[in-house]
Chain A
Amino acid sequence: MRRALTYAVLTVSALITVVPLLYMVSLALQTEAETLSADPVLWPASPQFGNFAELFERAPFGDFIVNSLIVAGVITLSHLIFDPLVGYVFAKFRFPLRNTLFVLLLATLMVPFFVRMIPLYVMMAGLGWLDSYQALITPFLMDAFGIFLMRQFIQPIPDDLISAARIDGASEMAIYRKIILPQTRPALAVLGLFTFVFQWNEFLWPLIATTTPEMRTIPVGLTLFNQEYFTLWHLTAAGSVILFVPTAVLFLVSQRYFVKGITLTGLR
């Protein structure tokens, strides 16, 4: 009896989270008339795959996709390069001002993005970088969360391994690349997945930093498309599906890493 109740609660909850997303797919395949019908359609009479082609004709959606891939891709790559390097230094080195620098890094965790958005906009305008990839990418090249995650992973690696390599004459870079990095692979997977998904979904900064449609990323391009063509719900939904599919696929094939990532960053 109690078990049946548990299943019922979980099933209803799962339906509430999943069915709206399935309805988004349905909307994306409806005709314009179906989306505007006074008696809303649950599933289209005949799926309109042409909606996707129509979307690309009405808006520079190809540009949106390329921009999103470049921005999220470069930022992810940068995190994978720098977050473990900085994490390694804080895990294994002693040097002047170490604690001061660490506290300053900690402090950046307390700085939400909205605090930076106005000065970053003014800075980018001053540099002439508004509406460019530099503007979209540079503010997110590293972050303290990723650095802490990597530091946690690197700390348990025995110091003796590093000392032995030094005695053997290995260079500092070689020690980092050959001894430290290979041991952090699971953490790097978590870091890469999270960084990519969050940057792929990022909304506020690309909204502020872009001025022409051709530079917009998918979330911003799609939202502004919807403001302009607010009756074309079949196309808005088609764009949503395009935005959704990559993260959904990444999540389905690696959901264990996502769950691990949440608990790792959550319960430091």
Chain B
Amino acid sequence: MLSHRKPTLSGRYARTAYLFLAPAILFFGVFFFLPIGNVLSTSTRTGPQADRFTGLGNYARAAADPAVHHAFLVTLVFSLAVVAGSIVLGLALALALNQPLRGRVAFRVALLVPYLTSVAIVGLLWRNILDPQLGVLNRVLGELGLPPQEWLNTHPLATIVAVTLWQGVGYTMVLFLAGLQGIPEVYHEAARVDGASGWLRFWRITLPLLAPTTLFVSVMAVISGLQAFGQAYIITNGGPGDATDLFVFHIFQVAFDSRDFGYSSAQSVLLLLVIVAFTVVQLRAGRRGEIQY
């Protein structure tokens, strides 16, 4: 956000400012605003060359297309599960790590490593580990006396949610850790003096004061969950059937397998609107729920 403190350098230096900005104006114009204009205009056209004007035809088609509805529902469930998991697991790990322990840095490194790993590695590795025949997981389960799994067939969506959390939970943990370290110790001290239990202090002090972090984590998790792609492309190929047909994977197939740029562009615009709506609603709700101490 722009600060209210005005920069003191006078307008005499406007020429320098524009000179320094020129490459950025060119870049964002050509690689952001031109594509946004083009995706909007392509979304109103149809045909193999996307050259026949159809107005809102592609949007009407999407509104009546069960495959689009299904992909949207799958993606929504996926995103909400990732949000819930990120918050619960990330906060739990941050609370555990926010104590005077030996090896804190080592734990943090270990938990954060998957976040910096390519989705290609994550996807391929887990596809191998989870494979019912070849995968090492069934051997481990067997040695623990547990029945073998076939989760990618029996619970495909839950499984890719779990893999996504495996990769991303270290990131939310670090965010929550920073949030926890920003809570002044005096609040806890005062509550302790008043005889509040640890559980009560968590609900009445820690959680409310973490609200901005929780809000940020949930906004980020929704945004990244709604545009997940690699999990479907690499691990499940959208299946079995269409059980994990994540929206961006669906758009990708309509665009690059079916070569229907008009229809896929309209779907991109729709998903963008959903993401913007989610973000606005979350920020609004967050602002209303903010608590001042």
Contacts and interface: CB of A to CB of B under 8 A. Distances in A.
Contacts of B39: 115-116, 118-119
B7 interface: yes
Nearest to B261: A118
B25 A24 contact: no
Interface string B184-220: 0000000000000000000000000000110010001
In this complex, the interface size class of chain A, counting residues with CB under 8 Å from chain B, is 35 or more
A223 B232 CA distance: 13
Contacts of B92: 9
B151 interface: no
Contacts of A123: 34-35, 38
Nearest to B220: A266
The listed residue with most B CB atoms (<10 A of its CB), out of A93, A108, A142, is A93
Per DSSP, are chain B's interface residues mostly helix, strand or loop, or mixed? Answer: helix
Interface string B254-282: 01100001001100110110011001000
B108 interface: yes
Contacts of A112: 223, 227, 272, 275
Contact of A93 (B14, B23, B24): B14
Contacts of A105: 24, 28
B116 interface: yes
B20 to A, nearest CB: 5
A21 B114 contact: yes
Contact of B230 (A113, A147, A203, A259): A203
A88 interface: yes
A14 B107 contact: yes
Given A13-B93, A114-B227, A262-B175, A142 B38 contact: no
Contacts of A120: 31, 35
A167 interface: no
Given A38-B133, A247-B117, A262 B171 contact: yes
Contacts of B33: 104
Contacts of A27: 128
Nearest to A261: B174
Interface string A215-227: 0001110110010
A239 to B, nearest CB: 9
Interface string A150-191: 000001000100110000000010001000000000000000
Contacts of A203: 118-120, 229-230, 233
B109 interface: yes
14 contacts: A94-B7, A94-B11, A94-B14, A108-B28, A119-B265, A123-B34, A139-B31, A142-B23, A172-B16, A172-B19, A176-B20, A201-B116, A237-B128, A258-B112
Interface of A: 3, 6-7, 9-10, 13-14, 16-18, 20-21, 23-24, 27, 35-42, 82, 85-86, 88-89, 91-96, 98-99, 101-102, 104-105, 108, 110-123, 138-139, 141-142, 147, 155, 159, 162-163, 172, 176, 197, 200-201, 203-204, 207-208, 218-220, 222-223, 226, 233, 236-237, 240, 243-244, 247-248, 251-252, 255, 258-259, 262-263, 266-268
